A and B are shown apart, each in its own frame.
Chain A
Amino acid sequence: MQELDLFYQKTKKINQFSGYLLVAIALTLLSIGIVALFSASGKFVLEKESQISSLMLRQFLWIAIGLFSCLIFSLIDYHKLLQLSSWLLILGFFLLILCFVPGIGHKVHGSSRWISVGGFNVEPSEFSKIFISLFFTRILSNAKKKSLFYMSPFFTAFVTVGLFVSLLIISGDLGSSLLYFMVFVLFLYLGGISLKWILPILGSGILFVFIVALLMPERRSRLLAFLAMDQDKEGKSYQVWQSLIALGSGGISGLGLGNSRQKMFYLPESTTDFIFPIIGEELGLWATLLIVGLYLSFILTAGWISLFAPDKEGLMIGTSLTSLIGMQTLANLGVVTGLLPNKGFPLPFISYGGSNLVFCLMSVGLLLNIHRQRPPEFRIKVEEKGAQRSINL
């Protein structure tokens, strides 16, 4: 107890600046993303006669929307959002169903996860991640009963996540369904459920997704390709293979900004999920290490902020959002470096695409919101005033 106090005292300064740090890292990653996207999208000008600016303009618009939502979410007290969370969740669910409605839903590569709004494709599952986090926080933060049985809040959460996951699996978005499930497990973890329950649930969940993946022919071949990559460089593991070629040929110092060859349609999705290899090819190892370092700092800073949230609600929201961004980052980087089976996760802040970017910036907003409301003990200004609260450890 004493040591913890001492720790808090010593880290006051860090607490003071962690908000700025978070924003700074997020903006750095955004900038890297713009530069990388500028380079990676150059091919469209050559091949598809579309202007380089159209893709970039779109992205700039999304960044503007994202920054605006970030501001909004940092200003509205998250407790108010928590009160609205049930309605937000219903909205999210509704939007996910809209994906299946012809005329509104937009199908890409056989999965219905987009809805078209005024020429923009929006992925509701991205936003719903925030909504489900808020909802789980609301029902679980004060759960007295640490039980998973019928009518307990954890059971409600289980049913909710089951609905979302089923919907996502039907829409063909295995990656997101896995993320949703992981959020659920995370809340069990934060909610204090014993690990002897959590680990089997986690295991069976992952097994379930694995089985589903094996049942879907398209996913199965991808999964099998991952297991025997060298035998199938032209086929299913082509993308990952090309990604490794890009990263490997970048070497230490890279081929130079704009000199990527792999972006010339060798590496599919080089502006979205596979933008990291292009950066690695053009700027080399130092840039890739820097980016990984930035993500690590982002996650740790966000985690720090969550850790010093004013209450358990803040802690849960912060941690779940941080975990979502972290898992997504790790999944993306794991795929492009050939460590994980090929699953489409965008790289937060860098990949082209609006929905995920807005989700990430909203999360940054919420984290700032939590940071702004941190208890006075963690503020330098009020250090001596010592407004004290009881501690329930």
Chain B
Amino acid sequence: MTSTPPGIRHSVRLRISLLALVVIVAMGILLSRLWILQIYEGKAYASKLRNQTTISLRLAGARGPILDKNGVGLAENRAMFEIDLYLDELVRDFPRRHKGKTPRIEVQRMMGGNVVLRKEPDIYKIVMTDLAPILKALRLAVKLDPKELQRHYFTSPSVPYSLRTDLDYATVARFEEQNLGVPGIDIAVKPIRYYNYGALASHVIGYVAAPDDKEKVSPDGIALDMVGKWGIERYMDGQLQGKPGGRILKVNYRGYIVNEESYIPPQLGDCVYLSLDTRIQYIVETALRSVGRGAAVVVDPNTGDILAMCSVPNFDPNDFIPKISQENWQKLTTDPTNPLVNRAISSYPPGSTFKLLIALAALKSGAITPKTVINSPAAIDIGGHLFHDWTKTGRGNITLYDGIRYSCNTFFYQVGIRTGIQNIEQMANVAGFGQLTGIPLPGESPGIVPGPEWMKQKYPMERWSTAHTANVSIGQGFLQVTPLQMALFVAAIANGGTLFYPRIVQGVSNNKGEIKIAVPSRVHSQLDVNPQDLEAIKSAMLGVVEEGTGANAKIEAIKVAGKTGSAQATKKLNGKLYKDTRAWFVGFAPYESPRYAFCILVEGGVSGGATAAPIAKKILEGIFEIEKGHNPTLTYLKPAIGNFNGLTEFTKEQSGSSQPKPPPDNQSGQNDDDD
């Protein structure tokens, strides 16, 4: 017997089974579709989801500070105040505040694939209605782009629109007074660079600015707000850069913030310690301001640390923050005194200061001994030309001591010729001249140490003669050195013959104070001179200050050793040729156990002894006051303004006719006029 239910035909059951099959197949298609959607295409959809449901707000990372060797902050951060506009709030509150309708504007929008005209609140009008009186009261000029504003309002109404304006405290205070009752206009704070002492050490520290296109992204892929453009700021940018943080906000489809999904705190960059001593730097800066153009370097002869480096005129790096005005930039770049040039690492003819190197080379080569007596008349004949001393009388029979003390030219012409240019060149190379010191500052010049080889390359038509050697012997002619090289060389004399590389960055520590990098002081070379010979030079340098050309640098209680130099150069200004004497004074102190070696250069000075030595005196007095515990009061320095005081009009008669004509492009003069 069969047991199937009654009244139903078999074909109906078949038909139902067919239906079930259709359902199973349909469900199978659905399952595979889900599988593809959620597994194979999942990642692509997930990124789309992130894009449309989150907003990332960038929080700028603060730059690490630049400190001096004692931890005094030279470059730190301050709070920058910006005006933030909460557009949605402004719009919603508008009718209440102005007792009227919200102004509307027709905007073209892509809706559903078509361009449609939509009526939207005229956000520009609304913002200006509320903001203009406030800005006017604060005397602030802010330009707004109506289109950008409208777009911002449409795409992310609840994300504040930032008006980039650097407001000072007083303005912020006044703003808050004015702003009473306008919701939607608020002040936001951002960290931004601040140079505590203004123009102090501006050539060393440099400045930061908004990155250009190449610098926008750091090597590890972080978009940068500000990058170091000059000086240590630039050289140490990788360390100083803070890591930006961010807030990732979940928003709904209208752009309203629902909650904060994650917060990455911005990080302070690493801290850079310089070798500078702010107090000494301050003394040097204030002392050098008495002249219109010049440079000064103070180094620690025992380490090669640069304690102070100053160049006048200079600039205030704070002018570059957050953005230098067109007017200021114009001023800086067109100023004929070149405030952006770091004169401490630019090259100049060294004048008589180079006689120290000639003496060293002569002693080392055995051409003379400290006791060798040389007749030094008012002028001598070299290769058919008369070479003059700067005195009209001559010095008679003198030894090295007096030769240096009086800075006698005729003495050194003979010493130089006896030593020979090869020995001088060799010594100059050992002493670091004619080569970059490698200080991490932009614009360093290697200087020039001329010799027969150099001549062959540079002026193939000329031949090296003893006259050239004589010129080098008094630090003239083609010879070019930088104040930094000179200071390091004097430091090497002071410390007994060790020439250091300059050290400006002492180390880097992270923001917790742990030292990450400690920069060791590095030895460039040994002068390798007999100690007695070095002693002879040192005592002659003492003689220069005690009873010679550098008497103006004499200070109480502390023995100072030094050497003056005055290199004559010409300067073309407004079509006229001027005599632009480079006055040098190099030296070290205290004589017995040197702690400071220095080099001062003044452009447009009278002479080394008259112009540079008094500055050295001021600096040394200040430094030894600090040693006694009397620190100078550090104040914010305005930029030193350059001038051309001290130029005297150049006439043919004044030029030394007794010497070979310099090559046409040789800018430096020929005479060495000393005290």
A residues near B (Cβ < 8 Å) are 1, 4-5, 8-9, 43, 46-47, 189-190, 192, 221, 231-232, 234-236, 238, 244-252, 261-262, 264-266, 280, 284-285, 288-289, 292, 295-296, 299-300, 303, 306-312, 315, 319, 323, 326, 330, 333-334, 337-339, 374-375, 377-378, 386, 388-393
8 A Cβ contacts from B88-124 to A: 110-114
Q: Are A235 and B113 in contact (CB under 8 A)?
A: yes
Q: Are A292 and B112 in contact (CB under 8 A)?
A: no
Q: Are A315 and B8 in contact (CB under 8 A)?
A: yes
Q: Pick from A234, A248, A309, A312: contact of B37, CB below 8 A.
A: A248
Q: Are B27 and A295 in contact (CB under 8 A)?
A: yes
Can you give 13 A-B contacts (C-beta < 8 A)? A192-B9, A235-B114, A244-B37, A250-B42, A251-B46, A264-B253, A266-B252, A292-B30, A296-B23, A299-B23, A315-B8, A330-B23, A393-B10
- Please, which residues of chain B bring their CB within 8 A of the CB of A319? 16, 19
Q: Are A285 and B35 in contact (CB under 8 A)?
A: yes
Q: Are A245 and B49 in contact (CB under 8 A)?
A: yes
Q: Are B34 and A307 in contact (CB under 8 A)?
A: no
Q: Are A285 and B38 in contact (CB under 8 A)?
A: yes
A249 CA to B53 CA in the complex, in Å?
12
Given known A-B contacts A234-B111, A252-B38, A261-B250, A337 and B33 have beta carbons under 8 A apart: yes
Instruction: Flag whether B557 is at the interface (Cβ < 8 A).
Output: no
- Please, which residues of chain A bring their CB within 8 A of the CB of B12? 190, 192, 312, 315
A389 CA to B1 CA in the complex, in Å?
10
8 A Cβ contacts from B1-40 to A: 1-13, 15-17, 19-20, 23-24, 26-27, 29-31, 33-35, 37-39
A391 CA to B37 CA in the complex, in Å?
49
Q: Are B4 and A289 in contact (CB under 8 A)?
A: no
Instruction: Flag whether B141 is at the interface (Cβ < 8 A).
Output: no
Min CB–CB distance A241 → chain B (angstroms): 9
Min CB–CB distance B564 → chain A (angstroms): 78
Min CB–CB distance B13 → chain A (angstroms): 6
Q: Are B24 and A296 in contact (CB under 8 A)?
A: yes
Extra contacts, 13 of them, besides A192-B12, A247-B37, A247-B45 (Cβ < 8 A), are A43-B252, A46-B252, A251-B46, A261-B49, A265-B254, A285-B34, A295-B27, A307-B17, A309-B5, A309-B8, A312-B8, A319-B16, A374-B5
Min CB–CB distance A264 → chain B (angstroms): 4
Given known A-B contacts A288-B34, A300-B20, A315-B8, A248 and B113 have beta carbons under 8 A apart: no
B252-289 near A? 1/0 per residue, CB < 8 Å: 11100010000000000000000000000000000000
- Please, which residues of chain A bring their CB within 8 A of the CB of B70? none
Q: Are B15 and A190 in contact (CB under 8 A)?
A: yes
Instruction: Flag whether B52 is at the interface (Cβ < 8 A).
Output: yes
- Please, which residues of chain B bring their CB within 8 A of the CB of A280? 34, 38
Min CB–CB distance B52 → chain A (angstroms): 7
Q: Are B252 and A247 in contact (CB under 8 A)?
A: no
Min CB–CB distance B39 → chain A (angstroms): 6
Q: Are B5 and A247 in contact (CB under 8 A)?
A: no
Q: Are A266 and B34 in contact (CB under 8 A)?
A: no
- Select from chain B the residue with minimum beta-carbon distance to A316: B12
Q: Are B6 and A247 in contact (CB under 8 A)?
A: no
Given known A-B contacts A235-B112, A375-B6, A303 and B19 have beta carbons under 8 A apart: yes
A330 CA to B35 CA in the complex, in Å?
16
Instruction: Flag whether B44 is at the interface (Cβ < 8 A).
Output: yes
Min CB–CB distance A139 → chain B (angstroms): 16
Min CB–CB distance B31 → chain A (angstroms): 6
Min CB–CB distance B40 → chain A (angstroms): 9
Q: Pick from B34, B44, B113: contact of A289, CB below 8 A.
A: B34
Q: Are A289 and B31 in contact (CB under 8 A)?
A: yes
A245 CA to B253 CA in the complex, in Å?
14
Q: Pick from A235, A248, A310, A337: contact of B30, CB below 8 A.
A: A337
A1 CA to B15 CA in the complex, in Å?
17
Q: Are A386 and B1 in contact (CB under 8 A)?
A: yes
Min CB–CB distance B287 → chain A (angstroms): 66
Min CB–CB distance B92 → chain A (angstroms): 15
- Select from chain A the residue with minimum beta-carbon distance to B53: A261
What 7 pairs between A and B have smallest CB-CB spacing? Answer: A248-B45, A235-B112, A249-B46, A264-B252, A249-B49, A377-B3, A251-B42
Q: Are A308 and B42 in contact (CB under 8 A)?
A: no
A330 CA to B5 CA in the complex, in Å?
31
Given known A-B contacts A190-B15, A248-B46, A266-B53, A393 and B4 have beta carbons under 8 A apart: yes
Q: Are B253 and A265 in contact (CB under 8 A)?
A: yes
- Please, which residues of chain A bring their CB within 8 A of the CB of B13? 307
Q: Pick from B16, B39, B46: contact of A307, CB below 8 A.
A: B16
Instruction: Flag whether B628 is at the interface (Cβ < 8 A).
Output: no
Q: Are A262 and B49 in contact (CB under 8 A)?
A: yes
- Select from chain A the residue with minimum beta-carbon distance to B10: A393
Min CB–CB distance B252 → chain A (angstroms): 4
Q: Are A266 and B112 in contact (CB under 8 A)?
A: no
Q: Are B113 and A234 in contact (CB under 8 A)?
A: yes
A331 CA to B559 CA in the complex, in Å?
102
Min CB–CB distance A238 → chain B (angstroms): 8
Given known A-B contacts A234-B113, A236-B112, A303-B20, A8 and B3 have beta carbons under 8 A apart: yes
A310 CA to B44 CA in the complex, in Å?
52
- Please, which residues of chain A bring their CB within 8 A of the CB of B10? 4, 393
Q: Pick from A246, A300, A306, A392: contact of B23, CB below 8 A.
A: A300
- Please, which residues of chain A bring their CB within 8 A of the CB of B3? 5, 8-9, 377, 386, 388
A93 CA to B20 CA in the complex, in Å?
31
Q: Are B111 and A235 in contact (CB under 8 A)?
A: yes
Instruction: Flag whether B41 is at the interface (Cβ < 8 A).
Output: yes
A375 CA to B4 CA in the complex, in Å?
9
A278 CA to B43 CA in the complex, in Å?
17
- Please, which residues of chain B bring their CB within 8 A of the CB of A232? 112-113
- Select from chain B the residue with minimum beta-carbon distance to A238: B112
Q: Are A288 and B16 in contact (CB under 8 A)?
A: no
Min CB–CB distance B172 → chain A (angstroms): 34
- Select from chain A the residue with minimum beta-carbon distance to B48: A245
Q: Are B1 and A311 in contact (CB under 8 A)?
A: no
- Select from chain A the residue with minimum beta-carbon distance to B38: A285
A280 CA to B36 CA in the complex, in Å?
13
Q: Are B7 and A333 in contact (CB under 8 A)?
A: no
A339 CA to B20 CA in the complex, in Å?
20
Min CB–CB distance B315 → chain A (angstroms): 51
A390 CA to B1 CA in the complex, in Å?
10
A311 CA to B12 CA in the complex, in Å?
12
Given known A-B contacts A337-B34, A392-B9, A393-B9, A248 and B4 have beta carbons under 8 A apart: no
Q: Are A391 and B6 in contact (CB under 8 A)?
A: yes
Min CB–CB distance B539 → chain A (angstroms): 83
A371 CA to B3 CA in the complex, in Å?
17
Q: Are A249 and B250 in contact (CB under 8 A)?
A: no
- Please, which residues of chain A bring their CB within 8 A of the CB of B16? 190, 303, 306-307, 315, 319
8 A Cβ contacts from B208-229 to A: none
